[in-house]
Homo-oligomer: A and B are copies of this chain.
Amino acid sequence: MTEGGSQAAARALDARDPLAAFRAAFVVDDPDLLYLDGNSLGRMPRAAAARVRTTLEEEWGRRLIRGWGEGWFTLGRRLGGKIARCIGAQPDEVIVCDSTTVDLFKLVVAALRARPGRRTIVTDALNFPSDHYVLQGVIELLGQGHRLVVVPAVDGVTVPESQLTAVVDDGTALVTLSHAAFRSAFVHDLARVTALAHQAGAIVLWDLSHSVGAMPIDLGTAGADLAVGCTYKYLCGGPGAPAFLYVRRDLQERLVNPIWGWFGRRDQFNFDGDWAPGPGIQRFLVGTPPVLSTAAVEAGVDLVLEAGLDGIRAKSVAQTEYLIGLWEAWLAPLGFSLNSPRDAPHRGSHVSLGHPDGLRIDRALIEDMRVLPDFRYPDNIRFGLVPLYTTFTEIHEAMLRLRRVVVDRLHEKYPRERLAIT
């Protein structure tokens, strides 16, 4: 890695990047700031800001309550139809609403109640903590003796499929996993895991938060049952933008949303009588959706669809490979471990590097080096690469700065303790 590690080589890669033009669709006001945390919060598409301004000034400000009839009511469904194209679903199988965790809660309860004779829930240690918490809470809430089986991870990085096969059986009600793991970026084989769960008669619920918008996903061909996902990472929907949920069409009428609200009710504005589920995916709605935050989601989804997920994935793989190459040449000798899978098919669009001083190094990157990665305990510095706007030059420069932090011991002035965020 002498020639390959040069800035000229990075520039050459950018020069022949077929997606390079997409970067101009995002606000990048400070090119020296190396933003590599798109897997926590994607950059702002210019069109998202414009759309929210329209929602403020034209819709809320001028159309007032008429905004509901003029698009707000159908916004979540319309966006769901677009996100469906990112995940191999039908347009009427996806809807944008609530937070990922609330959506998970709804679907986990619905799934368990659809398998009343079964008492096991299978997940893995790589799943996002909030997903684990939802499962723990639902077990406690239902009080029916469900048991949570957490398949351990090898070195905290991967979960071999054989480990899942070993525990999924005819007592398994639900298999629920993150498609791409938040910390290591390990990617499950969605179709194979779905098939092994189905073979045992279990329902599968995928959390697509760390994969949607970063790679092709085909829930339809896999026959997956349920999914949720986040819109503020690779879909660039804005801070805390509402999540989406997916329910396979033939399951929609067989599952019951446990939170009965007016937006999920049949004939919402006929206030006579009791709750009854609305048609199709609508029954999984609950209350009034946050319109401004929902409106911001569309622009990023449009850009993903325009770029195409095959192209996005090709660039993502090239960029994570490139970063891993620089790690190997410059950072492994300095004590950094690669905490993401080496094999591209099982790796998402971020790379985790571990270091015993990871927390302080992360802080030095942010405060001294104008690099914004993310940190995940205990020692992972995550570099999120978003093919729509991340350049090879940025990756090159970020790894140079990371090397400089450790070589010059810039991190040693910071305390070893974690700062409280709130």
Contacts and interface: CB of A to CB of B under 8 A. Distances in A.
A167 interface: no
A421 B68 contact: yes
A221 interface: no
A66 B372 contact: yes
A354 to B, nearest CB: 14
Contacts of A337: none
Contacts of A206: none
Given A73-B422, A98-B99, A290-B240, A43 B64 contact: yes
Interface string A52-78: 110111011110111111001110000
B65 A289 contact: no
A100 interface: yes
A374 interface: yes
Interface string A219-253: 00000000000101000001111110000000000
Contact of A29 (B53, B61, B137, B242): B61
Contacts of A269: 377, 418, 421
Interface in A397-422: 418, 421-422
Given A49-B61, A61-B29, A261-B133, A98 B102 contact: yes
A133 B105 CA distance: 18
A291 interface: yes
B261 A372 contact: no
Interface of A: 27, 29-30, 35, 37, 40-41, 43-44, 48-49, 52-53, 55-57, 59-62, 64-69, 72-74, 98-102, 105, 109, 128-130, 132-134, 136-137, 140-141, 230, 232, 238-243, 258-263, 265, 268-272, 274-275, 286-294, 296, 372, 374, 376-377, 418, 421-422
A268 B101 CA distance: 14
A37 B64 contact: yes
A122 B40 CA distance: 44
16 contacts: A35-B65, A41-B68, A43-B61, A44-B60, A44-B61, A48-B56, A53-B56, A59-B239, A60-B239, A74-B422, A101-B259, A105-B259, A129-B271, A240-B292, A290-B290, A292-B292
Contacts of A72: 239-240
Contact of A239 (B57, B102, B291): B291
B289 A99 contact: yes
A306 to B, nearest CB: 21
Copies of chain A in the complex: 2
Contacts of A268: 421-422
Given A290-B241, A290-B242, A275 B133 contact: yes
Contacts of A109: 141
A55 B292 CA distance: 12
Given A130-B262, A137-B260, 10 more contacts: A43-B64, A74-B422, A101-B262, A105-B261, A109-B141, A129-B265, A134-B261, A137-B259, A240-B289, A240-B292
A27 to B, nearest CB: 4
A288 B100 CA distance: 8
A239 to B, nearest CB: 4
Nearest to A296: B292
A306 B325 CA distance: 59
Contacts of A374: 65
Nearest to A282: B422
A109, A258, A376 pick with most chain B CB within 10 angstroms: A258
B133 A68 contact: no
3 closest Cβ contacts across the A-B interface? A99-B287, A137-B260, A101-B287
